[in-house]
Amino acid sequence: MESLLIKGGVPLHGDVTISGAKNAVLPIMAATLLTGEPCVIRNVPKLSDVKFMGQILTWLGAKVEIEGNTVRVHAKKIRGMGDYDLVRKMRGSICIMGPLLGRLKKATVSLPGGCVIGARPINLHLKGFEALGAKIKIENGYVEASAKRLVGADLFLGGRAGSTVLGTANVMMAATLAEGVTVIESAACEPEVVDVANFLNAMGAKISGAGSPTITITGVKALHGAEHEVIPDRIEAATYAIAAAATNGEVTLRGARADHLHAVLDKLQSAGVKMVRSAAGLTFSRGGKFKPLDITTLPYPGFPTDVQAQMMALMILTPGISIITERIFESRFMHVSELTRLGADIEIEGPSAIVKGGKPLSGAPVMASDLRASAALVIAGLAAKGTTQVNRIYHLDRGYETMDAKLRKLGARIERIEES
């Protein structure tokens, strides 16, 4: 198992190209199952999750070619059952269910895995499939869905923590080949959902309203092959912006889209981070004295839960008291105990973390519990004095393309080693 060894205290300087969005590319790859014609996806990040999804599509019978940042998929003949061991490794793999149900009218998929950040049930996915006419059965660790025909319906996908991104994409994909019109209310509004809808429309689907709480899908008889370029990853962009500020550096994010980052940019600027837009991209640096923040994670366009841990790493460097409230996942403060090993002063009170910032950080061995916690520990390690070893970085490799190489290019003293 690999670790990252970080010698902190070096300001980051330079530019970094933002990779394609992980949370868009996985359902887009799954969407290729909806047609027997070839599809080409560009700007695909080199991630372990992408590799797993390619293996899942291959298991289902598709021909998958990954060359650089381009993926070609030809799902001419497919089967309706996902491999148990592959699917359970990654939560995003549940998004093969909608395309399989849409095209084959049957799908059998194991209950998915992923990061340990609290319950992330798929009940809203199944609710949507049932509304389209599918019968659902769960047994022996598998979810089975089947339908003689799928028929459009009006359905509501709001849940306890708001709308569901993967659920919206999954039901949207199944509905493209349903008879009649499907209207999804309380649909997720994230840019990744819009990107999936754009790919489906390029395949011949009839989808309108993506990016709003109401998405309308008019079913078609068949979809065809298409080419598509994945949007840049807004969470990766936010991570590098925070890392630049945390290290008192200056970093230009090439390809980052400010229109996908409104809530993050608002909080960064309130915290004293300077942003400059140019033809080269978005440039971030420390604009003066850092200021504490009050942050609550919310569904898009609110502050993203996927940036909560990274922002906490910045707030532990900020004098004063910051309050970070997590409203999406109930167990997403697992990074707190590891940040305290570096010298952070953080208390948990219910859904909120009380961060007493401004104390110097010193390097120590830490353990990553999930994808975004890994990024927060890396940021803290970059800002700390001494050496930090971040263990279990397989989480990091699930969502950040060659983060250690990108950080080295920015001047960070970071290397990948085998855990001792």
Q: Rounded to whole angstroms, how far apart are CA atoms 275 and 252? A: 9
Decide: helix, strand or coil at residue 243: helix
Tokens of 346: 């953080």
115 noted as active-site residue: yes
Burial of 209 (0-12, 13-18, 19+ CB in 10 A): middle
**What residues contact 67, with CB distance under 8 A and at least 6 apart?**
none
**What residues contact 337, with CB distance under 8 A and at least 6 apart?**
none
First to last CA, the chain: 9
In order of 173, 243, 333, the CA distances from 33 in angstroms are: 10, 38, 36
Catalytic residue among 39, 95, 115, 189: 115
Helical residues (DSSP H) of 42-122, grouped into ranges = 48-59, 84-87, 97-104
Tokens of 273: 């981070």
Q: Which residues are catalytic?
A: 115
